[in-house]
Amino acid sequence: DTGVSQNPRHKITKRGQNVTFRCDPISEHNRLYWYRQTLGQGPEFLTYFQNEAQLEKSRLLSDRFSAERPKGSFSTLEIQRTEQGDSAMYLCASSYYQGGLTDTQYFGPGTRLTVL
Protein backbone atom coordinates (compact mmCIF):
# COMPACT_ATOMS: atom_id res chain seq x y z
CA ASP A 1 0.00 0.00 0.00
CA THR A 2 1.62 3.18 -1.16
CA GLY A 3 -0.68 5.85 0.14
CA VAL A 4 -4.09 7.43 -0.10
CA SER A 5 -5.67 7.15 -3.54
CA GLN A 6 -8.50 9.18 -4.99
CA ASN A 7 -10.62 8.66 -8.07
CA PRO A 8 -11.22 10.23 -10.42
CA ARG A 9 -8.35 12.71 -10.50
CA HIS A 10 -10.33 15.13 -12.64
CA LYS A 11 -14.05 15.56 -13.15
CA ILE A 12 -15.81 18.01 -15.44
CA THR A 13 -19.55 18.22 -15.09
CA LYS A 14 -22.42 20.47 -15.99
CA ARG A 15 -24.25 22.52 -13.43
CA GLY A 16 -27.08 20.55 -11.88
CA GLN A 17 -25.49 17.13 -12.32
CA ASN A 18 -24.56 14.83 -9.45
CA VAL A 19 -20.96 13.70 -8.97
CA THR A 20 -19.34 11.13 -6.71
CA PHE A 21 -15.71 10.86 -5.68
CA ARG A 22 -13.97 7.92 -4.08
CA CYS A 23 -11.15 7.82 -1.56
CA ASP A 24 -9.17 4.73 -0.58
CA PRO A 25 -7.20 5.37 2.61
CA ILE A 26 -4.02 3.77 3.80
CA SER A 27 -4.77 0.27 5.08
CA GLU A 28 -5.47 0.05 8.79
CA HIS A 29 -6.07 3.80 9.11
CA ASN A 30 -9.13 4.31 11.25
CA ARG A 31 -9.72 7.98 10.48
CA LEU A 32 -10.63 9.45 7.12
CA TYR A 33 -11.05 13.14 6.29
CA TRP A 34 -12.39 15.22 3.43
CA TYR A 35 -11.15 18.73 2.65
CA ARG A 36 -11.85 21.18 -0.14
CA GLN A 37 -9.45 23.68 -1.63
CA THR A 38 -10.53 26.58 -3.78
CA LEU A 39 -8.24 28.84 -5.74
CA GLY A 40 -5.94 30.93 -3.60
CA GLN A 41 -7.03 29.31 -0.35
CA GLY A 42 -5.69 26.59 1.88
CA PRO A 43 -7.62 23.33 2.21
CA GLU A 44 -10.82 23.66 4.24
CA PHE A 45 -12.08 20.87 6.47
CA LEU A 46 -15.39 19.29 5.40
CA THR A 47 -15.91 16.14 7.45
CA TYR A 48 -14.23 13.17 9.06
CA PHE A 49 -14.95 9.54 9.92
CA GLN A 50 -13.63 7.35 12.66
CA ASN A 51 -14.09 3.87 11.25
CA GLU A 52 -17.57 3.99 9.69
CA ALA A 53 -18.97 6.72 11.93
CA GLN A 54 -19.13 10.27 10.61
CA LEU A 55 -18.22 12.23 13.73
CA GLU A 56 -17.81 15.81 12.56
CA LYS A 57 -19.16 17.95 9.75
CA SER A 58 -18.21 21.49 8.84
CA ARG A 59 -20.78 24.16 8.19
CA LEU A 60 -19.29 24.22 4.69
CA LEU A 61 -20.90 20.85 4.06
CA SER A 62 -24.29 21.88 2.70
CA ASP A 63 -27.26 19.56 2.32
CA ARG A 64 -26.18 18.83 -1.24
CA PHE A 65 -23.05 17.12 0.06
CA SER A 66 -23.05 13.65 1.55
CA ALA A 67 -20.18 11.45 2.59
CA GLU A 68 -20.15 7.81 3.51
CA ARG A 69 -17.68 5.23 4.73
CA PRO A 70 -19.85 2.14 4.82
CA LYS A 71 -17.37 -0.50 5.96
CA GLY A 72 -14.81 1.70 7.60
CA SER A 73 -12.49 1.41 4.62
CA PHE A 74 -13.04 3.49 1.46
CA SER A 75 -15.21 6.59 1.45
CA THR A 76 -17.35 8.38 -1.11
CA LEU A 77 -18.24 12.04 -1.31
CA GLU A 78 -21.32 12.88 -3.36
CA ILE A 79 -22.37 16.33 -4.48
CA GLN A 80 -25.92 16.64 -5.73
CA ARG A 81 -27.13 19.35 -8.10
CA THR A 82 -23.66 20.77 -8.57
CA GLU A 83 -23.16 24.52 -8.71
CA GLN A 84 -20.30 26.49 -10.24
CA GLY A 85 -19.18 27.39 -6.72
CA ASP A 86 -18.48 23.71 -6.08
CA SER A 87 -15.53 23.86 -8.47
CA ALA A 88 -12.54 23.03 -6.32
CA MET A 89 -9.93 20.42 -5.45
CA TYR A 90 -11.40 17.79 -3.12
CA LEU A 91 -8.76 16.20 -0.92
CA CYS A 92 -9.00 13.06 1.15
CA ALA A 93 -6.69 12.19 4.02
CA SER A 94 -6.37 9.30 6.43
CA SER A 95 -4.67 8.70 9.75
CA TYR A 96 -4.19 6.09 12.43
CA TYR A 97 -5.41 7.54 15.68
CA GLN A 98 -4.24 5.85 18.87
CA GLY A 99 -5.32 8.51 21.33
CA GLY A 100 -3.49 11.62 22.40
CA LEU A 101 -3.63 15.13 21.10
CA THR A 102 -3.13 14.57 17.42
CA ASP A 103 -2.03 12.30 14.62
CA THR A 104 -0.55 12.84 11.17
CA GLN A 105 -3.01 13.07 8.32
CA TYR A 106 -1.75 11.59 5.04
CA PHE A 107 -3.29 13.14 1.97
CA GLY A 108 -4.24 11.80 -1.41
CA PRO A 109 -3.61 13.67 -4.66
CA GLY A 110 -7.12 15.08 -4.79
CA THR A 111 -9.97 15.18 -7.27
CA ARG A 112 -10.25 18.40 -9.23
CA LEU A 113 -13.89 19.23 -9.97
CA THR A 114 -14.88 21.72 -12.63
CA VAL A 115 -18.55 22.65 -12.87
CA LEU A 116 -19.48 24.31 -16.15
- 48 belongs to the binding site for another protein (CB under 8 A): yes
Cα–Cα distances (Å) from 22 to 15, 52, 100, 103, 116, in that order, read: 20, 15, 29, 23, 21
Among 33, 61, 88, 94, binds another protein (CB under 8 A): 33
Residues with Cβ within 8 Å of residue 52, at least 6 apart in sequence: 69, 70, 71, 72
Cα–Cα distances (Å) from 20 to 33, 103, 114, in that order, read: 16, 27, 13
Among 1, 56, 78, 83, binds another protein (CB under 8 A): 56
Q: Convert residues 63-102 into a mask of x (bound to another protein by CB under 8 A) and - (unbound).
A: ----------------------------x-----x--xxx
Q: Is 70 or 100 the residue whose CB approaches another protein more closely?
A: 100
SS3 86: helix
Q: Please state the closest distance from residue 86 (CB atom) to another protein, in A.
A: 19
Kindly list the residues in this chain that would bind another protein in the complex (CB under 8 A): 3-4, 31, 33, 35, 40-45, 48, 55-56, 58, 91, 97, 100-110
